[in-house]
C-alpha cells in the first residue's frame, strides 16, 4: 500500500523537521536513499522547481516528490502528511498560549523573541540579496569586486524599495511588476 | 461558516503569490491581516513567526495555522492550512506531470529574476517595519544584531537562537522588575 507508506513517511518529516521548509531537505535525501522511491537527481530538480513556483518551498517540495512517486494522489497525500503534525502542534500551542496569556513569563519571552525574529528575517534578507540583487556566486568565483554588482538589478531594487515605501500598494502589484520587468529587461 | 471560507480564500491567495519560504510571505501577510482585515496587530504576527521558527513543520504553514486558530479555533486552523497548501498542490502537480522542462524555460527564468529583486525589496521594507515595532531598547538592538550576525556567519540552528532569546527576555524582565517592586503585568490581571 504505497499511499499509506507515503503518508507515514511524510508525517514523520512533518513531525521532526524543525525550522522551516529547507529543514525538510535532509529528510527527503534520506528518504531517497532508504526507500529508492526517487533518485538523487530528482532532488536537484525538486529544489529548482520549488523555488521557481509560488507557494512555500517546503510544501512545493513535498508535492513534487509525492507526485513523482505516486502520481496526483501521491502529491496530495505527501503534502497532507507533512502538514498534519504542525497543524495539530500549533493548535495545542495556541491553546496553551490562551491559558498562559496573563503569565508575565510569556510577555517577557516575547520581549526577547521579537528582536530575535527581526534579526532572523534580516539574515534571510541577506541570503535573498546575495542571489537576487548581487552576483555573489560570480564574485566568489572570480574574486573581482566589480563582478559583485549588477547595476540594472541594483537600480531596480532601489526603485522598488522607494515605490514600496512611497505608495504602499499591495505587494502583489510589485511582484507582478517584477515579473514583467524581468522579462522586458531580460534579467 | 462564511469566515472559514474567508480564511481559506485569504490563505489560498497567500500561497498563490508567495515566492520563497515563510519569510517571503510576511509582506503580503502584513498587508492582508494587519491592514486590510485588521484581524490582529503586527506584534502578534511577529510572535507567531518566533513560535513557528521553533516548532516542527513549514514556517509559512505554522504561521497560517496560528492566525486561523486565533480567528476560528480548530476549524479556522484547518481552513488556513488547506488554503495555504492548495495552490502549491495544484501548480506543482501540473508542472511535475506535464512541464518537465519548466525550470529551464528562458521566460520563466527572466520573470523569476525580476520577481526575486522585488521580493528582496519587500522583505527589506518588512524588516524595517519590524525593527520599528519590535526593537524598542538597547537590549532589543543588541539581541537583533547578535542574532543577525550569528545567523549570517555561523551554522547555529535558529531554534537554539530562538529559545535562547526567549530565556534572555525572561531573565532581563525579571531583573528589571526586581528593581521596581510591583510589575504592571500583575496589575492588569
Q: Are residues A12 and A92 both part of a single domain?
A: yes
Q: Are residues A83 and A51 both part of a single domain?
A: yes
Q: Does B85 touch chain A (CB under 8 A)?
A: yes
List of long-range contacts for A93-99, beta carbons under 8 Å, 24+ apart = A93/B51, A93/B55, A93/B66, A94/B66, A94/B69, A94/B70, A94/B77
Q: Are residues A8 and A77 both part of a single domain?
A: yes
Q: Are residues A16 and A59 both part of a single domain?
A: yes
Q: Does A67 touch chain B (CB under 8 A)?
A: yes
pLDDT of residue B185 exceeding 50: no
Q: Write down the pLDDT at residue B186.
A: 42
Tens digits of residue pLDDT in B114-173: 988 998 998 899 889 889 888 889 999 999 999 999 989 998 877 788 889 999 999 999
* Inter-CA distances, A150 with A124, A129, A141, A156, A175, Å: 20, 12, 15, 10, 20
Q: Are residues A91 and A120 both part of a single domain?
A: no
ipTM of the complex: 0.82
Confidence band of B5 (pLDDT split at 50, 70, 90): very high
Tens digits of residue pLDDT in A51-93: 888 999 899 999 999 999 999 999 999 999 999 999 999 999 9
Q: Are residues A112 and A50 both part of a single domain?
A: no
Q: Are residues A93 and A114 both part of a single domain?
A: no
Q: Does B81 touch chain A (CB under 8 A)?
A: yes
CA B137 to chain centre: 23
Q: Write down the pLDDT at residue B180.
A: 65
The predicted model gives A135-155 an average pLDDT of 89
Confidence band of A159 (pLDDT split at 50, 70, 90): very high
Confidence band of B184 (pLDDT split at 50, 70, 90): very low
* Residue matched to cell numbers 503534525: A85
> pLDDT exceeding 70 applies to what percent of chain A?
100
Query: Which of B23 and A3 is assigned the larger pLDDT?
Result: A3
Query: What residues pair up with B19 in beta bridges, in sequence order?
Result: A55
Q: Write down the pLDDT at residue B67.
A: 97
Ranges of each domain in chain B: 2-133, 135-179
Tens digits of residue pLDDT in A105-143: 888 988 998 899 899 889 888 988 988 899 888 888 888
The interface residues of chain B toward chain A in range 47-66, judged by CB-CB distance below 8 A, are 47, 49-62, 65-66
Domain finish residue from A99, A129, A163: A99
Tens digits of residue pLDDT in B71-85: 999 999 999 999 999
Domain of A128?
104-184
Q: Does B40 touch chain A (CB under 8 A)?
A: no
pLDDT of residue B26 exceeding 80: yes
* Residue matched to cell numbers 531580460: A186
Number of domains in chain A: 2
Identify which of B18, B103, B159 has the shortest CB distance to residue A56: B18
Confidence band of B181 (pLDDT split at 50, 70, 90): low
Query: Which of B7 and B163 is assigned the larger pLDDT?
Result: B7
Q: Using the beta-carbon criterion (under 8 Å), do B51 and A183 form an inter-chain contact?
A: no
Q: Are residues A158 and A176 both part of a single domain?
A: yes
Q: Min CA distance, B51 vs chain A (Å)?
A: 9
Q: Using the beta-carbon criterion (under 8 Å), do A55 and B87 form an inter-chain contact?
A: yes
The predicted model gives B64-68 an average pLDDT of 97
Best mutation target, B15, B78, B118, to test chain A (most A CBs within 10 A): B118
Q: How many interface pairs between A and B have CB atoms less than 8 angstroms apart?
A: 371
Amino acid at each position: 500500500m504505497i499511499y499509506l507508506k507515503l503518508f507515514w513517511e511524510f508525517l514523520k518529516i512533518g513531525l521532526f523537521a524543525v525550522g522551516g521548509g529547507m529543514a525538510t531537505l535532509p529528510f527527503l535525501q534520506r528518504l531517497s536513499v532508504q526507500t529508492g522511491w526517487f533518485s538523487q537527481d530528482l532532488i536537484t530538480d525538486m529544489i529548482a522547481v520549488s523555488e521557481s513556483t509560488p507557494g512555500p518551498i517546503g510544501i512545493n517540495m513535498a508535492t513534487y516528490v509525492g507526485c513523482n512517486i505516486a502520481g496526483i494522489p501521491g502529491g496530495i497525500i505527501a503534502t497532507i502528511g507533512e502538514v498534519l503534525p504542525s497543524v495539530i502542534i500549533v493548535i495545542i500551542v495556541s491553546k496553551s498560549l490562551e491559558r498562559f496569556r496573563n503569565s508575565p513569563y510569556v510577555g517577557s519571552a516575547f520581549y526577547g523573541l521579537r528582536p530575535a525574529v527581526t534579526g532572523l528575517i534580516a539574515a534571510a534578507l541577506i541570503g535573498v540579496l546575495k542571489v537576487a540583487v548581487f552576483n555573489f556566486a560570480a564574485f566568489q568565483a572570480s574574486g573581482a569586486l566589480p563582478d559583485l554588482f549588477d547595476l540594472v538589478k541594483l537600480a531596480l531594487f532601489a526603485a522598488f524599495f522607494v515605490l514600496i515605501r512611497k505608495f504602499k500598494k499591495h505587494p502583489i502589484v510589485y511582484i507582478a511588476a517584477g515579473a514583467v520587468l524581468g522579462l522586458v529587461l531580460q534579467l | 461558516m462564511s469566515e472559514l471560507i474567508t480564511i481559506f480564500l485569504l490563505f489560498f491567495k497567500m500561497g498563490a503569490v508567495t515566492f520563497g519560504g515563510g519569510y517571503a510571505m510576511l509582506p503580503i501577510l502584513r498587508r492582508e491581516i494587519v491592514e486590510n482585515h485588521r484581524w490582529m496587530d503586527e506584534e502578534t504576527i511577529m510572535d507567531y513567526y518566533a513560535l513557528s521558527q521553533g516548532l516542527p513543520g513549514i514556517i509559512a504553514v505554522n504561521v497560517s495555522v496560528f492566525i486561523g486558530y486565533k480567528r476560528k479555533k480548530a476549524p479556522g486552523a484547518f481552513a488556513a492550512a488547506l488554503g495555504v497548501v492548495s495552490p502549491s498542490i495544484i501548480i506543482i502537480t501540473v508542472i511535475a506531470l506535464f512541464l518537465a522542462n519548466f525550470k529551464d524555460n528562458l521566460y520563466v527564468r527572466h520573470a523569476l529574476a525580476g520577481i526575486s529583486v522585488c521580493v528582496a525589496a519587500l522583505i527589506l521594507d518588512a524588516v524595517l517595519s519590524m525593527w520599528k515595532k519590535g526593537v524598542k531598547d538597547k537590549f532589543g538592538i543588541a539581541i537583533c544584531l547578535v542574532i543577525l550576525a550569528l545567523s549570517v556567519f555561523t551554522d547555529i540552528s535558529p531554534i537554539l537562537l530562538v529559545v535562547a532569546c526567549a530565556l534572555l527576555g525572561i531573565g532581563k524582565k525579571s531583573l528589571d522588575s526586581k528593581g521596581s517592586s510591583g510589575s504592571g503585568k500583575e496589575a492588569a490581571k
